Amino acid sequence: MPKAPEAAPPLTPREGGRPRVGQQLRRWRPSSRLGRALAALGAVALVVALVLRAPSAAHDFARAFANLHVDRLYWLAPALVAEYLSFVAFAAIQRLLFSAGGVHPPLRLLLRLSVASSGLRALLPVGALPSSGWLFGEFRQLGIDSPLALFVVLASGFVSTVCLLELVILGAAIAGATSPVLLAVCFVVLSAGSAGFVAAVHRLGAIERHAAGRGAIARALRRLVRLASGVARLQPGWRTGALSFGAAAANWLADLVCLIAAFALLGVAIPWRDLLFAYAGSQLAGSVVPLPGGLGAVEGGLIGVLDLAGVPIGAGLAVAVLYRAITYWGVAAFGGIELFFLARHPLTAASLDPPRS
């Protein structure tokens, strides 16, 4: 039977009728001990659960790779084609955005740059920043002016990110992860927020007029507006914007085909209802974690959602390993090779000229 807590000492008039901080902490000490004990117990339970599931997970992992027979290897073809098409779709986003500035680089050239920048993203921590900077530098070497080059780099990332968030919401709706009303509200907020952001960027002149004060914040805002004004003057229009979002969706969905092929290669049952949510959620987690290519976060998110969908942890781990072998390690290898060739043979303005027949 637990001991009753000791009575608090009497309050003195100098303390104004309130206990001292030390007395308050002593009063909460039993509950804090209880919290630490519960936290430790939860951690131990988690470790025990993982240890208990480890043998079955290892068995499922080995059994999944044992299903990788020669007669299933034909699934590699659609996986590799789909990954290639995902890069083509991303290059198409950039080409559509370049058209807003009157520049029409060859799709093959943008495809090479897309593969190389993806390889750089997979090799470096917080890879989106250095790969975007490198891509901007390559566009400048092609003779493209800075505002247009910066616009394409930023706008392609914006379109791709918004499309991924929409796929997360759509996947959650299909999987029945939460209330349809909440998902509808999230979709409306995301769409309205994205449209509002684009509209605000196109009205930087009005923002600059409103920032007419002499304060430090007003001066900083005017400098930021002037810096972005060269980028904001490029307005691709609704048709180009819609086509860009369509290409972004094709980029993500083609990569999803690689995940489906990984299931088929290993003979693991595909949880169709939860597949889009697992894929999009893992990609979103990988984009947030500052590790090369979201290493660890993509795999962990994918395995976790698949486990909730009823896929054994070992089988989910096998699928994640095979999927990432194609879409991460393969991309890192080919991207590194492309970076090597681009370093040996730098791009010039002549590379924008279409090849002569």
Q: Is residue 63 part of a domain?
A: no
Domain count, the chain: 1
Q: Is residue 40 part of a domain?
A: no
Length of the chain: 357
Q: Is residue 55 part of a domain?
A: no
Q: Is residue 181 part of a domain?
A: yes
Residues spanned by the domain of 249: 70-344
Q: Is residue 279 part of a domain?
A: yes
What is the spatial distance between Cα 31 and Cα 27, in angstroms, rounded to a whole number? 8
Which residue positions in the chain have pLDDT lower than 70? 1-57, 59-60, 63, 65-67, 197-236, 353-357
Tell me the pTM.
0.75
Residue 27: the pLDDT is: 47
In 3D space, the residue among 239, 213, 197 whose CA is nearest the CA of residue 96 turns out to be 239
Q: Is residue 283 part of a domain?
A: yes
Residue 198: the pLDDT is: 65
Task: Quickly list H helices, the chain.
Answer: 21-66, 76-98, 107-123, 128-141, 146-175, 180-201, 204-210, 216-232, 237-266, 272-288, 297-308, 313-324, 330-344
Residue 78: the pLDDT is: 92
Q: Is residue 248 part of a domain?
A: yes
In 3D space, the residue among 38, 53, 152 whose CA is nearest the CA of residue 104 turns out to be 152
Q: Is residue 16 part of a domain?
A: no
